[in-house]
Amino acid sequence: MIRNQWYAILESNEVHRGKPVGVTRMGEKLVAWRDSDGKVTVMVDRCPHRGVALSAGAVHGNNIWCPFHGFEFDASGRCTVIPANGREAPVPKAFQVRTYPAHEAHGFIFIYWGEADGEVGLPRWFEDLDDSFSYGSARDPWQAHYSRVIENQLDVPHVPFIHHNTIGRGGRTVMDGPWVEWQGPDRFFVRTAMRPEDGVPARSAKEMAPPDKPFHLEFMFPNLWQNWISDKVRVVAAFAPVDEENTMLYLRFYQNFMRTPGVRGFINSTSMIFNTIVARQDRRVVQTQRPMRSDLRIGEKLIPGDGPIIAYRRRRQELIDAAQQAADRNARRAGALAIEVN
């Protein structure tokens, strides 16, 4: 996983007031909970006292309560009460739970996974998805590394094969392009032109202009994707890393052509049935890929149509390297401070 990034890890409706929720994300056991005002907190799901899962406890006002010995922790992770010592007794600073910066927006709960040194900003989102859109959603667990799940959504040449009876009908197996356009360092757009086999080899992006049509794919690091079908219809995905072998796919169908209550909900929910069928056609194949984790050099023989995947892999590695360099700098700084203190 890429450290020092904002990840969408849960949908807002998965976390209710009064009930902590335990999840595994980025290979860590985490607990998400809401205070009395509904503000969400995400922290490591482990009491520093005896290692019990805080998600097995409860929320008392603005604190989460450990079920084993009644320790209470506030939204900063600080222990505020150790009942066995007396409620007014001072609490040692060592009783601290690691808490990640959390932000709730667009029906998702995001966390900044990494070292929050200074200002970390806010998570990015698709600004064209305004309040005029409504959506239906589904959650789908995949036994695959999140990088493979992301790459599947950037892989257009597979569509007429895996999805031959759904979105890939028509036998358009030849792909001209692809055109990859970056918007800033961590966001890119993909356009392609698919056509039936006609004896003419696929043309590269340098040989022709991109197609004059609204359809395109969009990816935003570290884990957001949009299929821009039209001005009024989109499919959005968030790829929440569970661990090195599992991903929770959050899939949404957005539309703003129908706003009548009831009818709008029916369209959104029935459209999600179809989109889930399409996603599971992908899942069946992606779960067989080896090695499970994608990387720049894993022995695959790529073709021109894999251009978006290559772009993703290169930038992903750059971000991983940058995060490691930042961690190394912090370690050296901490070591220097320790020497000064001694």
In this structure, are 58 and 154 located in the same domain? no
In this structure, are 149 and 287 located in the same domain? yes
Q: What is the pLDDT of residue 119?
A: 85
Q: What is the pLDDT of residue 335?
A: 78
Nearest to 40 by CA among 58, 17, 60, 56: 17
In this structure, are 109 and 141 located in the same domain? no
Q: What is the pLDDT of residue 199?
A: 97
- The per-residue pLDDT for range 175-199, each reduced to its tens digit, is 999 999 999 999 999 999 999 999 9
Question: Which tokens belong to 60?
Answer: 């008392």
Q: What is the pLDDT of residue 341?
A: 64
Q: What is the pLDDT of residue 342?
A: 60
In this structure, are 99 and 238 located in the same domain? no
pLDDT < 70 positions in the chain: 337-338, 340-342
Residues 272 and 265: their CA atoms lie apart, in Å, by 11
Specify if 52 maps to a domain: yes
In this structure, are 54 and 150 located in the same domain? no
Helix (H) or strand (E) holding 11: strand 5-11
Number of domains in the chain: 2
Specify if 228 maps to a domain: yes
Q: What is the pLDDT of residue 331?
A: 82
Q: What is the pLDDT of residue 148?
A: 98
In this structure, are 207 and 68 located in the same domain? no
Nearest to 251 by CA among 231, 229, 266, 269: 269
Maximum Cα interatomic distance, the chain, rounded to a whole number of Å: 82
Rounded to a whole number of angstroms, the distance between the first and last alpha carbons of the chain is 35
Bridge partners, 34 (sequence order): 40
Phi and psi torsions of 109, nearest 5°: -105, 120
HSE-CB at 210 with a 13 A cutoff on CA atoms is 12
Q: Is 43 exposed, middle or buried (0-12, 13-18, 19+ CB in 10 A)?
A: buried
Q: What is the pLDDT of residue 76?
A: 97
In this structure, are 266 and 152 located in the same domain? yes
In this structure, are 108 and 190 located in the same domain? no
Q: What is the pLDDT of residue 338?
A: 65
Q: How far is CA 273 from its chain centroid?
A: 21
Q: What is the CATH number of the domain that holds 221?
A: 3.90.380.10
Question: Interior CA angle at 139 toward 136 and 142, to 5°?
Answer: 145
Q: What is the pLDDT of residue 27?
A: 97
Within a 10 A sphere around the Cβ of 323, how many other Cβ atoms? 18
In this structure, are 277 and 183 located in the same domain? yes
Q: Which domain holds residue 108?
A: 5-113
Q: What is the pLDDT of residue 305?
A: 96
In this structure, are 166 and 303 located in the same domain? yes
In this structure, are 93 and 216 located in the same domain? no
